[in-house]
Amino acid sequence: MRADLPVKAVVVHMPGRESEALEITRTVKSTGGSNIVIMLAAEQDHLGVDAFFAGADDVVVWPCSLRELAVRLFVRLGLPLDDAILQTDEGSWNARAYIADRAGLTVSEAQVMHVLYTHDGETVSRDELSLAVDARPWRYGDRKFDVHVAKLRKKLSDTFGDKVSVSTIRSLGYRLVTKGANIFDPA
């Protein structure tokens, strides 16, 4: 934990290293402030009780739906649940997580992929990407998203072939196209 980095929430999951996970929870909670700690625990272990004694704000049986985890985090942070992201159907949440995990995307690449996936088949401008990912308008000459999309395109192609693709639409932005549920085929 670095004091110079603002932290609002910490999700702790360390299978096989429960005592370390509990220590991290204690450390986060001892820093004062209003940090939220959510512990992920396997169904068969008894980590949940110990996590609460260590100061965890919530314990979630893992694996769980990413949507459920996000809703729990929103509630703990006091954010409104009417957010459009949370209203997306469960299948969409799982597909995005599956794509990001299987392709080995970085956090930045996953953020870009999330925005593109939400607009599957539609063109997304650099300005829309910048507002969604960085909460600021895109500046002419900023090649950040060009770089992320190039890496994203390669990883998606290497992992899914033509089942998931990202196209550059000249002077407009980018378009992600998925071929439906067949992205889950192992082939």
CA 10 – CA 48 distance, rounded (Å): 16
CA atoms within 13 A on the CB side of 41: 21
Q: Strands 173-178 and 164-169, how do they pair?
A: antiparallel
* pLDDT by 10s per residue, the chain, length 187: 455 556 688 888 877 788 898 998 998 888 877 788 988 887 666 788 889 999 999 998 876 666 777 788 888 888 777 765 666 555 555 666 777 777 787 877 888 888 888 887 889 998 888 888 777 888 888 888 889 889 988 988 888 887 888 888 888 889 988 765 445 444 4
Which helix (DSSP H) or strand (DSSP E) does residue 13 occupy?
none
CA 2 – CA 71 distance, rounded (Å): 27
**Domain ranges in the chain?**
9-84, 88-184
Fold of 88-184: Arc Repressor Mutant, subunit A (1.10.10)
Residues 9-84: name the CATH superfamily.
Response regulator (3.40.50.2300)
